């Protein structure tokens, strides 16, 4: 049998892990099961990644990069600021509707990572990258259209992603297409209003 290098085996194992855990959940993703999914020895997984946590980290990175790439491809080149934000939000929502298992697996891995010290860095990297890319897209749209942001781009990104994560969880748990569309429109409207300084922030009680 021809030798397969670790560099070649790595994407194969990541895909096998995604396929397996998408079907059966994160708890089923042992190195033995992932190796069996690809039809290789368990030692191959450890040789390629070192530990199960390292493989899980690679899976999170792959899922994140795939989703980000789809949204970035949807970014319009000549639209206004509001239209750009709406287009990007719609593109991201489309990934939820068309690839719900990818979002579910990312959510499951994120919850698993919260209780796994070796995956804390991967979890921070996942949210950090998504936030940074969202902030970059907002900044680029503002600069292209001459739109002065009333709030830092990272704050706008965090606000949008917080609402979007909630909508995604609702779609996976209790879908309602009409309500989801209204909520997504409201979220985009709120982001645009916050970005334009048209949203009055209510003071919170002091603790």
Question: What is the structure's pLDDT at 36?
Answer: 96
Q: Is 1 exposed, middle or buried (0-12, 13-18, 19+ CB in 10 A)?
A: exposed
Whose tokens are 């010290």? That residue is 117
Which residues lie closer than 8 Å to 78 by C-beta, 6 or more apart?
A: none
Examine the pLDDT at 18 and tell me if it is beyond 90: yes
The string of pLDDT tens digits covering residues 166-199 is 999 999 999 999 999 999 999 999 999 999 999 9
Q: What angle do CA 180, 185, 190 make, to 5 degrees?
A: 125
**DSSP letter string, 60-129:** HHHHHHHHHHHHHHH--SS--HHHHHHHHHHHHHHHHHH-HHHHHHHHHHHHHHHT-GGGHHHHHHHHHH
Token pair of 138, please?
């907002």
Q: What is the pTM of this model?
A: 0.90
Which domains, from first to last, does the chain contain? 1-50 (1.10.10), 59-195 (1.10.357.10)
Token pair of 193, please?
């209003």
* Cα(95)–Cα(184) distance, integer angstroms: 14
* Cα(112)–Cα(121) distance, integer angstroms: 13
The string of pLDDT tens digits covering residues 109-152 is 999 999 999 899 889 988 999 999 999 999 999 999 999 999 99
* Cα(157)–Cα(138) distance, integer angstroms: 8
């Amino acid at each position: 049998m021809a030798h397969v290098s670790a560099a070649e085996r790595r994407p194969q194992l990541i895909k096998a892990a995604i396929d397996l855990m998408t079907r059966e959940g994160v708890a089923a993703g042992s190195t033995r099961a992932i190796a069996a999914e690809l039809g290789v020895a368990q030692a191959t997984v450890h040789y390629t990644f070192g530990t199960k946590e390292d493989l899980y980290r690679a899976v999170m990175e792959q899922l994140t990069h795939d989703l980000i790439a789809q949204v970035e491809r949807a970014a319009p080149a000549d639209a206004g600021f509001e239209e750009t934000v709406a287009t990007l939000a719609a593109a991201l929502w489309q990934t939820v509707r068309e690839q719900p298992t990818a979002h579910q697996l990312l959510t499951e891995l994120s919850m698993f990572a919260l209780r796994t010290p070796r995956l804390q860095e991967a979890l921070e990297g996942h949210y950090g990258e998504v936030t940074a890319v969202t902030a970059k897209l907002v900044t680029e749209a503002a600069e292209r259209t001459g739109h002065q942001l009333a709030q830092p781009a990272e704050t706008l990104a965090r606000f949008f992603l917080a609402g979007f994560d909630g909508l995604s969880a609702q779609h996976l748990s209790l879908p309602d297409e009409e309500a989801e569309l209204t909520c997504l429109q409201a979220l985009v409207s709120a982001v645009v209003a916050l970005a334009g300084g048209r949203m009055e922030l209510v003071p919170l009680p002091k603790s």
